[in-house]
Structure 1
Amino acid sequence: MDELGFHRALYRPGLLLDVGAHDGAFTLPFAALPGSRVLAFEPLPSAYARLEAALAPCPPHVTLRRAALGDAPGEITLSVPVVKGVAQEQWASIAKGYAQHEGVEEQRHSVTVLTLDSLGLSDLTHVKLDAEGAEYEVLRGARETLTRCRPVLSVEIEERHRAGSTHAVPAFLDGLGYEGFWQQGGEWRPMASLDRHRLPKASPNPSVFEHIEDYIFVFYFLPREHAVAMLARMPPPPG
């Protein structure tokens, strides 16, 4: 099951949050779910423009925000690596820069940062989070919302973006009463079974393009009080 399939399998009408919406690969299918409302955050100006165009005219149940989420409000620098003159937008990050890598230039954008808790959401049911290393800050700024609403989450966590993140992010969510899972061979496995030392490693340098077999970078989090029932709703692995 892929990340979108996870949200479809557990779909509950309410507000779906897309953090790091980029071109709308999740925003658009989220918006097509019956009874959904969607809130999408994308701070990179070029990606936000394409997201707007993809939804034009923007339906009333979808809200787009050209901003980043974090653990404190303000302004921050969004860094985009440029390799051979091409901006690698999928690596855009507020958590780190790329100038230290040989052969990599940088674009820098000043972007607005909000906390999710400042929005006072009451019916958040789903979160897709892809923040290129800033996942911990996004979740810290969402502590009250996660405690109140108990959404399900899919979070892209990569050590190449931030060392220690595959420990810190699950530990933070564990403290909020979430059970973490990852998938291998179509089977759901608890976070406790993740052997980080044996996971395939990806280069932190955006100029190095690698094909990595069985690279695990999407993790799933369910409210502990509903985890058993939610897992039972998942379709069995193929074959």
Structure 2
Amino acid sequence: MDEVTFHSRLHQPGTMLDVGAHDGLLTLPFSRLPASKVLAFEPLPRAFARLAAVLADGHGGAVPAHVTLHPEALGDHDGVITLSLPVLDGVPQEQWASTAKDYAGYDLRRIAVEQIRVPLRTIDGLGLTDLTHLKIDAEGAEYEVLRGARETLRRCRPVITVEIEERHRAGSTWAVPAFLDALEYEVLFELEGRWFPVAALDRATMQRASPDPSVFEASHPYVFIFYALPREQAVTALTLIRNT
């Protein structure tokens, strides 16, 4: 199941938050769900420009009033942070842009690193009272994003999708689910149409991938999208996902 399908099947009116929106792959379909306000955060300047263009093109030439785009990163404090963008053989690898690592130590003959200072804020600082959906794609900074959202998650109980990869941050597939478990979320993954608790994740066979942008290697299957449901809603939500 992809993230759009997950959020669509569990759709509830309210605010939908897209962290790491990039080109709007989720932002655009989120913007078409009924009775929703969408907040999209994308700190990479070139990607942010494309995000704005995609939203405008998808809504008749202008970003609609119920969608707000932010050229900022999210984390666990307010301030400014360095976004590191690896450039492989002269080509920016935007899908690897990260505030969690600097890509030091790789082959300097092939990989350069563009460092961009970007604004940083927290989800809690947004003061949301109606957050129903949260998607996070932060290339290793997922823990900080969630730590900066602790009070909002307690208050609003949104459903969450989060990409977690050991290649971006060792130990993250342990730390992020543990943080969510402490907030009474059930963390799951889907594989070949079946749903499993995160405890069933075999990292040696399902989470093996090179951390080097110049090496394209990964396990099969490669499980990196995780779904988090408030514990008090988990049984009902899973039934709805399976039967819709």
After TM superposition, the structure 1 = structure 2 runs for residues 1-239 of structure 1, keeping only pairs within 5 Å, are 1-56=1-56, 57-102=62-107, 103-210=110-217, 212-235=219-242
Q: RMSD of aligned C-alpha atoms?
A: 1.2
Residue 199 (structure 1) shift? 2.2
Residue 209 of structure 1 aligns with an amino acid whose one-letter code is F
Aligned residues: 237
Residue 236 (structure 1) shift? 5.4
CA distance in structure 2 between the aligned counterparts of 1:108 and 1:163, rounded to whole angstroms: 22
CA distance in structure 2 between the aligned counterparts of 1:135 and 1:74, rounded to whole angstroms: 17
Question: Does the CA contact (< 8 Å) of 1:151 and 1:223 recur in 2?
Answer: yes
CA distance in structure 1 between the aligned counterparts of 2:26 and 2:2, rounded to whole angstroms: 12
Question: Does the CA contact (< 8 Å) of 2:17 and 2:39 recur in 1?
Answer: yes
- Counterpart secondary structure, 1:75: strand
- Counterpart secondary structure, 1:233: helix
The aligned counterpart of 2:59 is none
Deviates more, 1:91-100 or 1:23-32: 91-100
Residue 84 (structure 1) shift? 0.6
1:165-214 CA-partner distances (Å, limit 9, x unpaired): 00000000000010000011111111122222332411000011236421
Unaligned runs of 5+ in 2: 57-61
Question: Does the CA contact (< 8 Å) of 1:20 and 1:131 recur in 2?
Answer: yes
CA distance in structure 2 between the aligned counterparts of 1:24 and 1:233, rounded to whole angstroms: 26
CA distance in structure 1 between the aligned counterparts of 2:113 and 2:207, rounded to whole angstroms: 27
Deviates more, 1:152-161 or 1:201-210: 201-210
Question: Does the CA contact (< 8 Å) of 1:133 and 1:162 recur in 2?
Answer: yes
Question: Does the CA contact (< 8 Å) of 1:99 and 1:105 recur in 2?
Answer: no
Residue 73 of structure 2 aligns with an amino acid whose one-letter code is A
Against the structure 1 CA distance between its residues 114 and 200, is the aligned structure 2 distance closer, same or farther, given a 3 Å change threshold?
Answer: closer
CA distance in structure 2 between the aligned counterparts of 1:44 and 1:127, rounded to whole angstroms: 20
Question: Does the CA contact (< 8 Å) of 2:207 and 2:224 recur in 1?
Answer: no
Against the structure 1 CA distance between its residues 73 and 230, is the aligned structure 2 distance closer, same or farther, given a 3 Å change threshold?
Answer: same
With the length of structure 2 as denominator, give the TM-score of the two structures: 0.94
With the length of structure 1 as denominator, give the TM-score of the two structures: 0.96
1:204-226 CA-partner distances (Å, limit 9, x unpaired): 00011236421000000000001
Residue 24 of structure 1 aligns with an amino acid whose one-letter code is G
Residue 98 of structure 1 aligns with an amino acid whose one-letter code is Y
CA distance in structure 1 between the aligned counterparts of 2:84 and 2:77, rounded to whole angstroms: 18
Unaligned runs of 5+ in 1: none
CA distance in structure 2 between the aligned counterparts of 1:120 and 1:189, rounded to whole angstroms: 33
Q: Percent identity?
A: 62
